[in-house]
Amino acid sequence: MSRKISRRTMMAGTAAGVAAAALNFPKPAIAQAKPFKLGLLTVKTGPLAQGGIQMEQGVQTYLKLNNNKMGDRPVEFISADTGGNPAGAKTKAQELVERNKVDVILGPLAAFELYAINDYIRQQKMPTLSLAAADDLTQRHANPFLVRASATSSQAMHPMGHYAATEMKLKRAVTIVEDFAFGYEQMGGFQASFQKDGGCVNKKLWPPIVTPDYTPYLAQITDCDVVCQGFAGSNPIRFMKQYASAGLKYPVVTGETGGDDALLTSFGEDALGLVSCCPYTLDLESDGNQRFVDGMRKNFNTVPGFYAAGLYTNCEVVAAGLKATGGDSSDREKFLNAMRSATLSDSPRGPVKFDHFGNVVGNFYVRRLGKEGAKYGLKLWNKTIKTYENVSQFWTWPEKEYLAHPVYSRNYPPLGKC
């Protein structure tokens, strides 16, 4: 028997069918419709390449451990080599933004690179999670599109100066570091903190970033009881070898790059006793760090240091921001605020939160290089001897007092009379 079906009944049935189908099949989501474009500015050539390669490995490790997703969105990852110079950083930043249409930039590595692209980031309103430590871009001339989960140039050196003066009981220091912005700001931080606690810096040495022979500078290290070096990339290895060969016996202290854990396979016994302060330490016993270390060893057969950990943590911040916005990064201001509001309880470097300038507040670890506790087939090991918690970029100074002083530079603070 045939049965007549009215148009209204047919449409109602169709609507019901569509509704039923919608229950059985997932609706198109941001994650399915549009990949999240993640751009990296790093360095793969020159003296800073060692750190730059670890930066890329840190991002890749995060993506491999998270099924190539952030906030349930698939990730398209674009890595750009700046060559470790300001012009290259600016050119590659423009390519990432204008040609690749990235949603966020990670990096760059060097402070002078970040200063070079600062105005462009502002003009493009591009969320940027920097490893570069350029102090003033989260201080007196804060960039509202910048988030930094690593550290300012001086942030690790403040506790290092305090530790050298108060616990190592050292009084007179000579500083030596590459002649560029990161070096100036590192040593300014060490000097300010060291002098605040009773120490004195009586000489500052500034070799060029490409210096094969440190002999002329080593000959000037006299009349002190500690040397603070702030070298980056592979330069710390060469410096420590030449320092020992010159017969110098003063204890050596350093910041996050000069004693980086990624250098443990390359340091020799000439570096034994090196004391460093870093926002990341390989020996941190936590689930988050162990997962990260295992990922780096599995994927790249290497142990990570500060550069890799910093970029992995940046990825965690991006993912937290995307989760808070439901995966939507189209409203850059909303997305940026979500990242700056993020708190991480178990990143590879420990707990992370941000101040109102978008700069990290977190743990900094003082370590001594030795053989005790070595793992992963390493002969040398950075063993944590003190943890400073909730370290801000202003150290123990009130924010207004700190910002009333000039940014740390080649000549500020001035040398003291020891």
pLDDT one-digit tens code per residue, 240-287: 999 999 999 999 999 999 999 999 999 999 999 999 999 999 999 999
> 227: which strand partners?
174, 252
pLDDT one-digit tens code per residue, 336-362: 999 999 999 999 999 999 999 999 999
The pLDDT of residue 47: 86
Please give the Cα distance from 269 to 188 (Å, whole number). Answer: 29
The pLDDT of residue 418: 83
The pLDDT of residue 145: 97
* In the predicted structure, residue 29 carries a pLDDT above the cut 80: no
The pLDDT of residue 18: 36
* In the predicted structure, residue 167 carries a pLDDT above the cut 70: yes
Please give the Cα distance from 200 to 395 (Å, whole number). Answer: 18
Task: State which amino acid sits at residue 367.
Answer: R
The pLDDT of residue 15: 39
In the numeric block, which tokens belong to residue 61? 């490790």
What band does 31 get if pLDDT is binned at 50, 70 and 90?
Answer: very low
Cβ-based neighbours of 128, under 8 Å, separated by 6 or more: 104, 105, 106, 121, 143, 145, 146, 147
Give the pLDDT mean for 177-200: 97
What band does 46 get if pLDDT is binned at 50, 70 and 90?
Answer: confident
The CATH number of 157-283+363-403 is: 3.40.50.2300
Residue-range domain boundaries for the chain: 31-151+285-361, 157-283+363-403
Distances (CA, A) of 160 to 35, 141, 282: 42, 25, 18
Please give the Cα distance from 108 to 84 (Å, whole number). Answer: 9
pLDDT one-digit tens code per residue, 65-89: 999 999 899 999 999 999 999 999 9
Q: How far apart are the first and last CA of the chain?
A: 110
* In the predicted structure, residue 171 carries a pLDDT above the cut 70: yes
Please give the Cα distance from 317 to 40 (Å, whole number). Answer: 15
CB 367 within 8 A of CB 255: no
The pLDDT of residue 3: 37
pLDDT one-digit tens code per residue, 294-351: 999 999 999 999 999 999 999 999 999 999 999 999 999 999 999 999 999 999 999 9
Unique residue bearing structure tokens 């028997």: 1
At the second CATH level, the architecture of 31-151+285-361 is 3-Layer(aba) Sandwich (3.40)
pLDDT one-digit tens code per residue, 281-294: 999 999 999 999 99
Asked, colleague to colleague, whether 31-151+285-361 and 157-283+363-403 share their fold, the answer is yes
* In the predicted structure, residue 141 carries a pLDDT above the cut 60: yes
- Sheet harboring 146-147: ordered strands across? 69-70, 73-81, 36-42, 104-106, 128-129, 146-147
Please give the Cα distance from 320 to 353 (Å, whole number). Answer: 12
The shares of helix, strand and coil residues in the chain, as percent rounded to the nearest 5, are 40, 20, 40
Strand positions, DSSP E, 112-189: 128-129, 146-147, 172-176
The burial class, CB within 10 Å (0-12 / 13-18 / 19+), for 285 is exposed
> 367: which strand partners?
276, 384
pLDDT one-digit tens code per residue, 356-404: 999 999 999 999 999 999 999 999 999 999 999 999 999 999 999 999 9
Determine how many CB atoms are found less than 10 A away from the CB of residue 47. Answer: 18
Please give the Cα distance from 381 to 368 (Å, whole number). Answer: 8
What band does 33 get if pLDDT is binned at 50, 70 and 90?
Answer: low
